Amino acid sequence: MRLQGKANSSLTVAIIGGGFGGAAAAVALQSVGIKADLYEQATSIKEVGAGIGMRPPTCRYFKQWGIYDAIMNKTTESYYMEILKANGDVIIREQWPLLTDDENERWSRLIHRADFIETFMDHIPAENVHLGYKAVKIIEHDDLVEVHFENGQKVEVDLVVGADGIRSNIRKEFISDCEPVPAKAHAYRAVVDGMDKYGFATDETFRVYVDGDVMVYLLPLPHRNQISFDVTVKSEDTSWRPDITNEEILDLVKNFEPRVRKIAESLTIEDYTCRSLFDIEPLENWSTNRITLLGDAAHAMLHHQGSGANMAIQDAGALAEALRDSDSIMEALQKYQAERKPITDVYQRLSRQEPTQESQTAFPEKATFEKVAE
Ligand SMILES: Cc1cc2nc3c(=O)[nH]c(=O)nc-3n(C[C@H](O)[C@H](O)[C@H](O)COP(=O)(O)OP(=O)(O)OC[C@H]3O[C@@H](n4cnc5c(N)ncnc54)[C@H](O)[C@@H]3O)c2cc1C
């Protein structure tokens, strides 16, 4: 480590937030010899019941961090995405786009969010994970940052990583007072057991049904014999946790093909996680001298391109590499932002594009990303 003459092992980092971004940052920093402590306000690390798709650039980091096999063992490889009409007619069937230089990597690895976060947490030493630590005050000095927690504890570190999500207080206090932008849409998500009961037994295709303002995302998790079911619908109600009844959800999917209706009919409202969707506008800058943002805190985006968690994890990899390869924290933070922000800016824009019955492609990012990667 060349950082200000410090050995990697003596740089101290406090990561605020134990979501995908914070947990990935802890694993990534550890993989380059930096001891980072993770502080999460909740008293346990939990993820909502839902599936997620991991793209090859993200999975390449898992190899570097030594967690590839542990994660891959809990995934299913998917090669195709479909956009369908409500009645099940396929409008587009397309292979996942190539985001790397390896022709064989036209896939997405489908995983349950809880399995994913659990694997990260299994690879962070227990003494570096601090639950029930809500950061309430941060003071940046020339040579260190003080972090004060609601429980009365305080730490002094060289660098703070704000991985505190879309409503980041760290962003608000140090970087930008931008407010989350409502997408005027809700997402109702649940994981359904017994995938084989619904006629999707050996199917690894990721499907998006569209019917006017209603979209149903079906992400198969065959290794768990489950399906992740996500109903997204336009709504003027922008409360973070909208109130919705099971009858209203059943009504939304009443025109959909029988397999979709059957899934909805098997669920009760308690099975769903319901939230309004928000993103933020791209920020001009992610860092001060000793505080930086990562994941949704830096670039929250909508879920239409399934990219937010992938971006958070890739941020973690880029930040760790920049710290490993720089002479100062400031240089590292500049490198980190220079590498990541052009990519996340594009994904933020693309993620506002939702699939429609008129979509020409399932992956509007395809051409753009081949260009950005050049
Ligand atoms: C419906 C939906 C579907 C999605 N599908 C996909 C997908 O298929 N693929 C994909 O890549 N992405 C997807 N995403 C996006 C993805 O979920 C997010 O981008 C990702 O979870 C962001 O991770 P994060 O760690 O940055 O933030 P978060 O997961 O929000 O974590 C922030 C953490 O910080 C903690 N925290 C906040 N303040 C403090 C504080 N003061 N002190 C201590 N801790 C604090 C919070 O408790 C929380 O645990 C989807 C999102 C939605 C809404």
Q: How far apart are alpha carbons 102 and 304 in whole angstroms?
A: 25
The finding on whether 51 has its CB within 6 A of some atom of ligand 1 is no
The finding on whether 52 has its CB within 6 A of some atom of ligand 1 is yes
Question: Looking at ligand 1, which atom is closest to the CA of residue 20?
Answer: 25
The token pair at 157 is: 């570190």
Q: In 3-state terms, what secondary structure has residue 259? A: helix
Protein fold of 3-76+111-180+280-372: FAD/NAD(P)-binding domain (3.50.50)
Phi/psi at 114 (5° precision)? -65, -40
Residue corresponding to tokens 């809990």: 74
The finding on whether 190 has its CB within 6 A of some atom of ligand 1 is no
Q: Where in the chain is the domain with CATH 3.30.9.30?
A: 181-278
Q: Which CATH architecture has domain 181-278?
A: 2-Layer Sandwich (3.30)
The finding on whether 57 has its CB within 6 A of some atom of ligand 1 is no
User: pTM above the 0.85 mark?
Assistant: yes
Residue corresponding to tokens 């409502």: 182
Per-residue pLDDT of the chain (374 residues), as tens digits, is 456 545 456 899 999 999 999 999 999 999 999 989 999 999 999 888 899 999 999 999 999 999 999 999 999 999 999 999 999 999 999 999 999 999 999 999 999 999 999 999 999 999 999 999 999 999 999 999 999 999 999 999 999 999 999 999 999 999 999 999 999 999 999 999 988 888 876 679 999 999 999 999 999 999 999 999 999 999 999 999 999 999 999 999 999 999 999 999 999 999 999 999 999 999 999 999 999 999 999 999 999 888 999 999 999 999 999 999 999 999 999 999 999 999 999 999 999 988 888 888 888 767 777 655 44
Q: How far apart are alpha carbons 217 and 215 in whole angstroms?
A: 6
Q: Where in the chain is the domain with CATH 3.50.50.60?
A: 3-76+111-180+280-372
Q: In 3-state terms, what secondary structure has residue 136? A: strand
Asked if residues 234 and 213 have their Cβ atoms less than 8 Å apart, the reply is yes
The token pair at 313 is: 């994890």
Q: How far apart are alpha carbons 322 and 100 in whole angstroms?
A: 20
The token pair at 133 is: 């630590």
Q: How far apart are alpha carbons 206 and 118 in whole angstroms?
A: 23
The token pair at 234 is: 């336009």
The closest alpha carbon to 81, from 347, 364, 349, 343, belongs to 364
Work out the burial of residue 371: count CB atoms within 10 Å of its CB; fewer than 13 is exposed, 13-18 middle, 19 or more buried: exposed
Residue 165 Cα to ligand 1 midpoint, Å, equals 5
Relative to beta strand 214-221, strand 108-112 is unpaired
Asked if residues 108 and 228 have their Cβ atoms less than 8 Å apart, the reply is no
Burial 196-212 (b: 16+ CB within 10 A, else e): eebebeebbbbbbbbbe
Q: How far apart are alpha carbons 115 and 133 in whole angstroms?
A: 23
The token pair at 348 is: 């933020």
Phi/psi at 57 (5° precision)? -60, -30
Residue 20 Cα to ligand 1 midpoint, Å, equals 6
Calculate the alpha carbon distances from 367 to 108, 111, 141, 300 in Å: 17, 26, 44, 22
Number of H helices, E strands in the chain: 11, 18
The closest alpha carbon to 76, from 254, 210, 212, 200, belongs to 200
The token pair at 291 is: 């505080």
The finding on whether 39 has its CB within 6 A of some atom of ligand 1 is yes
Q: What is the largest CA-CA distance in the chain?
A: 64
